[in-house]
Amino acid sequence: MTEKEQEHIFKSWLDDHKGLFFKIVRAYAVTQMDMDDLFQEIAIQVWRSVPAFRQACAVSTWIYRIAINTALTWTRKERRHPQMEGMEEGVSLLQEDGEAPDERLTWLYAAIHQMDVVDRSITLLLLEGFSYKEIAAIMGITESNVGVKINRIKKRLIVQSEKQDCYGL
Partner 1 sequence: MDFEEMKTIWDAQNSATAYKLDEQELHQRILARKKRAVFITNLSELMIIITYGVVGFVVLSVKMYYLAAWMFLVVMALMISRIRRLRAGRRFDRSVQGQLQHALATAKYQLRLSQLMRWNIVIMFGLTFLAIWKAEKPWWALVLMFFFFLLSLYSSRLEHRKYTAQKESLEALQHKLDS
Interaction of residue 90 with partner 1, rule CB under 8 A: no
CB 97 → partner 1: shortest distance, Å? 6
Handedness of CA 16, 19, 139, 63 (dihedral sign): positive
Conformational region of residue 65, where left means phi above 0, alpha means psi within -120 to 50, and beta covers everything else:
alpha
Q: Could you count the other beta carbons within 10 Å of the beta carbon of residue 28?
A: 25
Which of 31, 83, 97, 166 contacts partner 1 by CB under 8 A?
Answer: 97
Interaction of residue 151 with partner 1, rule CB under 8 A: no
Instruction: Give how far Cα 18 sits from Cα of 64, 71, 124, Å.
Output: 12, 16, 15
Contacts with partner 1, residue ranges (CB under 8 A):
7, 11, 14, 18-19, 22-23, 26, 40, 43-44, 47-49, 52, 65-66, 68-69, 72-73, 76, 79-80, 88-89, 91-97, 99, 101-102, 104-105, 108, 116-118, 121, 127-129, 137-141, 145, 154, 157-158, 161-162, 164-165
